[in-house]
Amino acid sequence: MNFIEKREGITLIEVLIVSVIMGVIITITGTISGKFAERRSVDRVTTAISSTLYITKLKALRHGLEYQAVFTFVPENKTLTIETERGNSNRGSDIYEKETSQTIRVTEGITITPATRKYNFNPNGTLGGASGTVRIEPTSEN
């Protein structure tokens, strides 16, 4: 008596089960990779902003002049422009000369507020003038 049947090929049920499992795996992977890409974009923008602020502060300390960092976000183009400028005095500069400029492409679905923000650093390394927060967050869906 032989209970083990010899068969060739696979059944339709086995194909359907494997297809459903693959569909679930692909769906989960797509969702995770989308969130990862969004998070990566936020990290890239955050790193660019924080390193610019740090370098601007160090330049003010080293050169004994006021320096400022200017961030401008254009929602229509999804671009963030980061500029550093050197002042003409150690206190109360009235003329600023642009030193560096870079433009970063921001992923769709990310908002940066306010659209324009300036941070001014005094030669002693402190923030001069108004300070504030730059918010980088997912666009709210209505």
Q: Where are the domains of the chain?
A: 12-138
Q: What is the mean pLDDT of residues 5-11?
A: 73
Write down the pLDDT at residue 142.
43
CA–CA separation, 15 vs 111, rounded Å?
A: 44
Query: Shortest CA distance to 128 belongs to which of 61, 42, 43?
Result: 61
Q: Could you name the CATH architecture of 12-138?
A: 3-Layer(bab) Sandwich (3.55)
Cα angle: 108, vertex 118, 135; to 5 degrees? 35
* Residue 128 clears pLDDT 80, i.e. is over it: no
Tokens of 42: 């936020």
What pLDDT shows up at residue 37?
72
Residue 140 pLDDT exceeds 70: no
13 residue type, one letter? I
* Rounded percentage of the chain residues whose pLDDT exceeds 70: 89
Determine how many CB atoms are found less than 10 A away from the CB of residue 57: 18
Name, of 11-15, 41-45, 64-68, 112-116, the range with top average pLDDT: 64-68
pLDDT for 129 beyond 70: no
Write out the two tokens for 111: 């908002």
Distances (CA, A) of 91 to 51, 85, 96, 98, 119: 23, 14, 12, 18, 14
Specify the pTM. Answer: 0.69
Q: What is the pLDDT of residues 87-116, one digit of tens each?
A: 998 888 889 999 999 998 888 878 888 888
d(CA 60, CA 50) in angstroms, rounded, equals 16
